Amino acid sequence: MIGEEIVGSFTSFGEMGMLAALALLVLVDGAGVPTVPEVWLVFFFGAHPETFAWGLTIAIVASVAGLGGILIQYSLARFARLPKKVGRVMKRYTDFLILHDERLLLLNKAAPMIPYSGAFVALLGWDLKKSLAYSFLGALGKTTMIVTLTYFTYGGLAREVAGWVSIVVVGCVMGSSLVFSLILKRKYGLVTSAKKSPTF
C-alpha cells in the first residue's frame, strides 16, 4: 500500500520524519489517492501518547497539509478548463445542501458532502482564501478530536491495547461522519435525485 511505503521511507528520521510522512499522507489523500491518514495519525501519536502537545502538533501538521490537496485539485481544475456544464452540475448539487458557499468546506470535514473540494472551489468561483480558512478550521477540529480521544484512550489503557482501541475509535468517528453525510443527503433529497436524474 502507498501509505505503508510513505511511512517506511520517513519514520527512520524520528519525529520530524513522522511529521513529514503524515503531511505527505494527507497531501496524497487530499489529491484523490486514499491513504487513510486518520489511522496513521493515531499510529504516529502512539510514539509519544503521554504528551498532548505532540498530538496537537500532529493535528496542526495534518490540517495544514490538507490545504495542499485542495490547492492541487484547484490548480488542476483551473488548468484543465473543464466545460461550463461541469460547473453548472456542481452548482445544482450544492444548491440542494444546507450551505451553498465556502462554509460548506467546514461542514465537509464532519460530514463529507463534496468530493474533490478543490475542484468545487475553482469551478464555482468560491473565494480561495475563505475556502482554505474554512477547510483548515474543519480539519483542525476533526484531527484535534481524534487526538483528544486517543490521548484519553492511552491514559486509561495499557499501551499495547490502547493503540488498537484508538484505531477502533477513529473507525467509529469516520463511520459516524459517513452516516451523518448520508442522513444529510437523504434530508435534502440528493440520494433520490441521483437515482432519478442522470445529471447526478
Summary mean pLDDT of the chain: 80
pLDDT value, residue 183: 66
Three-state SS for the chain is CHHHHHHHHHHHHHHHHHHHHHHHHHHHHHCCCCCCHHHHHHHHHCCCCCCHHHHHHHHHHHHHHHHHHHHHHHHHHHHHCCCHHHHHHHHHHHHCCCCCCCCHHHHHHHCCCCCCHHHHHHHCCCCHHHHHHHHHHHHHHHHHHHHHHHHHHHHHCCHHHHHHHHHHHHHHHHHHHHHHHHHHHHHCCHHHHHHHCCCC
Q: 120-136 pLDDT, tens per residue?
A: 999 999 999 999 999 99
pLDDT value, residue 192: 43
* More confident position, 164 or 42: 42
pLDDT value, residue 23: 93
Q: 12-29 pLDDT, tens per residue?
A: 888 999 999 999 999 988
